[in-house]
Protein backbone atom coordinates (compact mmCIF):
# COMPACT_ATOMS: atom_id res chain seq x y z
CA UNK A 1 0.00 0.00 0.00
CA UNK A 2 2.74 2.43 1.01
CA UNK A 3 4.92 1.48 -1.96
CA UNK A 4 2.01 2.04 -4.32
CA UNK A 5 1.36 5.49 -2.91
CA UNK A 6 5.04 6.37 -3.28
CA UNK A 7 5.06 5.24 -6.90
CA UNK A 8 1.88 7.20 -7.67
CA UNK A 9 3.28 10.31 -6.03
CA UNK A 10 6.50 10.01 -8.05
CA UNK A 11 4.50 9.61 -11.27
CA UNK A 12 2.37 12.64 -10.43
CA UNK A 13 5.50 14.66 -9.65
CA UNK A 14 7.12 13.61 -12.92
CA UNK A 15 3.98 14.49 -14.89
CA UNK A 16 3.80 17.92 -13.27
CA UNK A 17 7.44 18.54 -14.15
CA UNK A 18 6.83 17.50 -17.75
CA UNK A 19 3.80 19.77 -18.09
CA UNK A 20 5.72 22.61 -16.52
CA UNK A 21 8.55 22.05 -18.98
CA UNK A 22 6.12 22.01 -21.91
CA UNK A 23 4.45 25.18 -20.67
CA UNK A 24 7.75 27.09 -20.78
CA UNK A 25 8.69 26.07 -24.34
CA UNK A 26 8.77 28.67 -27.08
CA UNK A 27 6.31 28.98 -29.99
CA UNK A 28 8.53 27.14 -32.48
CA UNK A 29 8.98 24.23 -30.08
CA UNK A 30 5.23 24.06 -29.53
CA UNK A 31 4.59 23.93 -33.28
CA UNK A 32 7.16 21.15 -33.59
CA UNK A 33 5.55 19.25 -30.72
CA UNK A 34 2.13 19.65 -32.32
CA UNK A 35 3.42 18.24 -35.62
CA UNK A 36 5.02 15.32 -33.78
CA UNK A 37 1.78 14.70 -31.91
CA UNK A 38 -0.14 14.47 -35.20
CA UNK A 39 2.42 12.00 -36.57
CA UNK A 40 2.29 9.93 -33.39
CA UNK A 41 -1.50 9.79 -33.14
CA UNK A 42 -1.92 8.78 -36.78
CA UNK A 43 0.84 6.19 -36.50
CA UNK A 44 -0.75 4.59 -33.44
CA UNK A 45 -4.15 4.58 -35.15
CA UNK A 46 -2.67 2.85 -38.20
CA UNK A 47 -0.78 0.38 -36.00
CA UNK A 48 -3.87 -0.67 -34.06
CA UNK A 49 -5.98 -0.95 -37.19
CA UNK A 50 -3.36 -2.97 -39.05
CA UNK A 51 -2.86 -5.25 -36.05
CA UNK A 52 -6.56 -6.13 -36.01
CA UNK A 53 -6.64 -6.50 -39.81
CA UNK A 54 -3.71 -8.90 -39.95
CA UNK A 55 -5.00 -10.87 -36.97
CA UNK A 56 -8.39 -11.43 -38.63
CA UNK A 57 -6.76 -12.17 -42.00
CA UNK A 58 -4.50 -14.81 -40.47
CA UNK A 59 -7.39 -16.49 -38.65
CA UNK A 60 -9.67 -16.52 -41.70
CA UNK A 61 -6.85 -17.72 -43.95
CA UNK A 62 -6.43 -20.80 -41.81
CA UNK A 63 -10.17 -21.42 -42.01
CA UNK A 64 -10.21 -20.86 -45.77
CA UNK A 65 -7.39 -23.35 -46.32
CA UNK A 66 -9.30 -25.91 -44.26
CA UNK A 67 -12.39 -25.39 -46.44
CA UNK A 68 -10.34 -25.41 -49.64
CA UNK A 69 -8.60 -28.68 -48.84
CA UNK A 70 -11.70 -30.46 -47.57
CA UNK A 71 -14.17 -29.46 -50.30
CA UNK A 72 -14.73 -31.60 -53.35
CA UNK A 73 -16.07 -28.88 -55.63
CA UNK A 74 -14.82 -25.39 -56.45
CA UNK A 75 -18.39 -24.11 -56.22
CA UNK A 76 -18.49 -25.11 -52.55
CA UNK A 77 -15.33 -23.13 -51.90
CA UNK A 78 -16.80 -20.20 -53.84
CA UNK A 79 -19.76 -20.11 -51.47
CA UNK A 80 -17.50 -19.73 -48.42
CA UNK A 81 -15.53 -16.79 -49.81
CA UNK A 82 -18.08 -14.19 -48.72
CA UNK A 83 -17.87 -15.32 -45.10
CA UNK A 84 -14.06 -15.34 -45.20
CA UNK A 85 -13.50 -12.20 -47.26
CA UNK A 86 -10.92 -10.84 -44.80
CA UNK A 87 -8.53 -13.54 -45.99
CA UNK A 88 -6.43 -12.58 -49.03
CA UNK A 89 -6.61 -16.21 -50.14
CA UNK A 90 -10.33 -15.82 -50.79
CA UNK A 91 -9.70 -13.04 -53.33
CA UNK A 92 -6.90 -15.02 -54.97
CA UNK A 93 -9.23 -17.99 -55.26
CA UNK A 94 -11.98 -15.84 -56.77
CA UNK A 95 -9.55 -14.48 -59.35
CA UNK A 96 -8.68 -17.99 -60.49
CA UNK A 97 -12.28 -19.21 -60.23
CA UNK A 98 -13.61 -16.43 -62.47
CA UNK A 99 -10.95 -17.20 -65.07
CA UNK A 100 -11.95 -20.88 -65.01
CA UNK A 101 -15.60 -19.91 -65.52
CA UNK A 102 -14.62 -17.82 -68.54
CA UNK A 103 -12.51 -20.58 -70.07
CA UNK A 104 -14.15 -23.86 -69.22
CA UNK A 105 -15.54 -25.84 -72.14
CA UNK A 106 -17.00 -29.32 -72.36
CA UNK A 107 -14.77 -31.77 -74.16
CA UNK A 108 -15.75 -34.73 -76.32
CA UNK A 109 -15.43 -36.92 -73.24
CA UNK A 110 -18.89 -36.54 -71.57
CA UNK A 111 -18.81 -34.78 -68.24
CA UNK A 112 -15.12 -33.87 -68.58
CA UNK A 113 -14.75 -30.08 -68.77
CA UNK A 114 -11.38 -28.55 -69.50
CA UNK A 115 -9.81 -25.10 -69.70
CA UNK A 116 -8.14 -23.59 -72.74
CA UNK A 117 -5.14 -21.97 -71.02
CA UNK A 118 -3.67 -22.77 -67.62
CA UNK A 119 -1.19 -19.92 -68.12
CA UNK A 120 -4.10 -17.46 -68.17
CA UNK A 121 -5.33 -18.85 -64.85
CA UNK A 122 -1.83 -18.44 -63.42
CA UNK A 123 -1.80 -14.82 -64.56
CA UNK A 124 -5.19 -14.22 -62.95
CA UNK A 125 -3.93 -15.68 -59.68
CA UNK A 126 -0.80 -13.50 -59.84
CA UNK A 127 -2.86 -10.36 -60.51
CA UNK A 128 -5.15 -11.13 -57.58
CA UNK A 129 -2.16 -11.79 -55.31
CA UNK A 130 -0.53 -8.52 -56.33
CA UNK A 131 -3.77 -6.63 -55.67
CA UNK A 132 -4.08 -8.18 -52.22
CA UNK A 133 -0.48 -7.34 -51.34
CA UNK A 134 -1.08 -3.74 -52.37
CA UNK A 135 -4.17 -3.62 -50.17
CA UNK A 136 -2.30 -5.08 -47.20
CA UNK A 137 0.53 -2.57 -47.61
CA UNK A 138 -1.89 0.37 -47.51
CA UNK A 139 -0.90 3.02 -44.91
CA UNK A 140 2.39 1.25 -44.11
CA UNK A 141 4.39 3.97 -45.92
CA UNK A 142 3.05 6.43 -43.35
CA UNK A 143 4.70 4.39 -40.59
CA UNK A 144 7.97 4.39 -42.53
CA UNK A 145 7.71 8.14 -43.08
CA UNK A 146 7.04 8.70 -39.39
CA UNK A 147 10.05 6.63 -38.39
CA UNK A 148 12.31 8.44 -40.84
CA UNK A 149 11.11 12.04 -40.48
CA UNK A 150 10.06 12.65 -36.88
CA UNK A 151 13.58 12.39 -35.36
CA UNK A 152 14.72 15.16 -37.71
CA UNK A 153 11.67 17.28 -36.92
CA UNK A 154 12.47 16.89 -33.23
CA UNK A 155 16.12 17.69 -33.88
CA UNK A 156 15.08 20.85 -35.70
CA UNK A 157 13.14 21.94 -32.63
CA UNK A 158 16.15 21.21 -30.44
CA UNK A 159 18.55 23.16 -32.63
CA UNK A 160 16.15 26.08 -32.75
CA UNK A 161 15.73 25.98 -28.98
CA UNK A 162 19.49 25.92 -28.38
CA UNK A 163 19.95 28.88 -30.73
CA UNK A 164 17.24 30.74 -28.83
CA UNK A 165 18.87 29.85 -25.50
CA UNK A 166 22.28 31.12 -26.56
CA UNK A 167 20.74 34.30 -27.93
CA UNK A 168 19.20 34.84 -24.51
CA UNK A 169 22.58 34.28 -22.88
CA UNK A 170 24.14 36.82 -25.18
CA UNK A 171 21.50 39.37 -24.25
CA UNK A 172 21.91 38.86 -20.48
CA UNK A 173 25.68 38.50 -20.55
CA UNK A 174 25.72 35.53 -18.11
CA UNK A 175 27.08 32.08 -19.03
CA UNK A 176 26.67 29.99 -15.90
CA UNK A 177 25.29 26.45 -15.84
CA UNK A 178 22.25 27.69 -13.95
CA UNK A 179 21.39 30.06 -16.78
CA UNK A 180 22.18 27.63 -19.63
CA UNK A 181 20.55 24.44 -18.33
CA UNK A 182 16.86 25.46 -18.48
CA UNK A 183 16.99 26.59 -22.08
CA UNK A 184 18.86 23.50 -23.25
CA UNK A 185 16.55 21.14 -21.32
CA UNK A 186 13.54 22.78 -22.94
CA UNK A 187 15.14 22.42 -26.36
CA UNK A 188 15.82 18.70 -25.84
CA UNK A 189 12.13 18.04 -25.26
CA UNK A 190 11.48 18.08 -29.01
CA UNK A 191 14.20 15.51 -29.67
CA UNK A 192 12.68 13.22 -27.04
CA UNK A 193 9.25 13.71 -28.58
CA UNK A 194 10.60 12.91 -32.05
CA UNK A 195 12.12 9.65 -30.80
CA UNK A 196 8.90 8.84 -28.94
CA UNK A 197 6.99 9.11 -32.22
CA UNK A 198 9.62 7.37 -34.38
CA UNK A 199 10.55 4.26 -32.38
CA UNK A 200 7.05 2.67 -32.18
CA UNK A 201 6.42 3.52 -35.84
CA UNK A 202 9.62 1.80 -36.98
CA UNK A 203 8.90 -1.27 -34.86
CA UNK A 204 5.33 -1.50 -36.18
CA UNK A 205 6.47 -1.00 -39.79
CA UNK A 206 9.04 -3.79 -39.59
CA UNK A 207 6.51 -6.09 -37.93
CA UNK A 208 3.82 -5.50 -40.55
CA UNK A 209 6.22 -5.74 -43.47
CA UNK A 210 7.21 -9.17 -42.18
CA UNK A 211 3.53 -10.11 -42.02
CA UNK A 212 3.03 -8.92 -45.61
CA UNK A 213 5.94 -11.09 -46.75
CA UNK A 214 4.44 -14.08 -44.97
CA UNK A 215 1.08 -13.54 -46.63
CA UNK A 216 2.84 -13.13 -49.97
CA UNK A 217 4.50 -16.52 -49.56
CA UNK A 218 1.19 -18.02 -48.43
CA UNK A 219 -0.58 -16.71 -51.53
CA UNK A 220 2.19 -18.02 -53.80
CA UNK A 221 1.89 -21.49 -52.25
CA UNK A 222 -1.89 -21.35 -52.51
CA UNK A 223 -1.69 -20.40 -56.19
CA UNK A 224 0.49 -23.43 -56.88
CA UNK A 225 -1.94 -25.65 -55.01
CA UNK A 226 -4.83 -24.16 -56.98
CA UNK A 227 -3.05 -24.81 -60.29
CA UNK A 228 -2.42 -28.43 -59.28
CA UNK A 229 -6.15 -28.90 -58.78
CA UNK A 230 -6.92 -27.29 -62.12
CA UNK A 231 -4.44 -29.54 -63.90
CA UNK A 232 -5.92 -32.64 -62.28
CA UNK A 233 -9.56 -31.82 -63.06
CA UNK A 234 -9.59 -29.50 -66.05
CA UNK A 235 -6.45 -30.21 -68.10
Encode pLDDT of 181-228 as tens digits: 666 777 788 899 999 999 999 999 999 999 999 999 999 999 999 999
The answer to whether 168 touches 187, Cβ cutoff 8 Å, is no
Look up the domain containing 213 and give its range.
Answer: 28-234
The answer to whether 200 touches 66, Cβ cutoff 8 Å, is no
Q: Does residue 156 fall inside a structural domain?
A: yes
Q: Does residue 5 fall inside a structural domain?
A: no
Helices 88-103 and 177-234, axial angle in degrees (round to 10): 30
Q: Does residue 131 fall inside a structural domain?
A: yes
What pTM value is reported for the model?
0.83
pLDDT of residue 170: 64
Encode pLDDT of 35-69 as tens digits: 999 999 999 999 999 999 999 999 999 999 999 99
Spatial separation of the C-alpha atoms in residues 183 and 163, rounded to whole Å: 9
Query: For residue 75, is pLDDT > 70?
Result: yes
How many Cα atoms occupy the beta-carbon half-sphere of 202 within 13 Å?
A: 11
Write out the H or E segment, with its range, that includes residue 138.
none
Q: Does residue 18 fall inside a structural domain?
A: no
Q: Does residue 61 fall inside a structural domain?
A: yes
Q: What is the DSSP string of 171-216?
A: HHT---HHHHHHHHHHHHHHHHHHHHHHHHHHHHHHHHHHHHHHHH
Q: Does residue 114 fall inside a structural domain?
A: yes
Q: Does residue 216 fall inside a structural domain?
A: yes
Number of compact structural domains in the chain? 1
At CA 51, angle to CA 48 and CA 52, rounded to 5? 90
Amino acid sequence: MTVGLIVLSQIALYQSEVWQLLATTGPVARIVLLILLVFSVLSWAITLRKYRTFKVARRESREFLRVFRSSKKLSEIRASCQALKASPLAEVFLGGYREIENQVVVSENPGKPHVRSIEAIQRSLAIASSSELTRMEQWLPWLATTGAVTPFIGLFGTVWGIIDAFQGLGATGTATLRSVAPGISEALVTTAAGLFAAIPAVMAYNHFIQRVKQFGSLMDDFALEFINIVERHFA
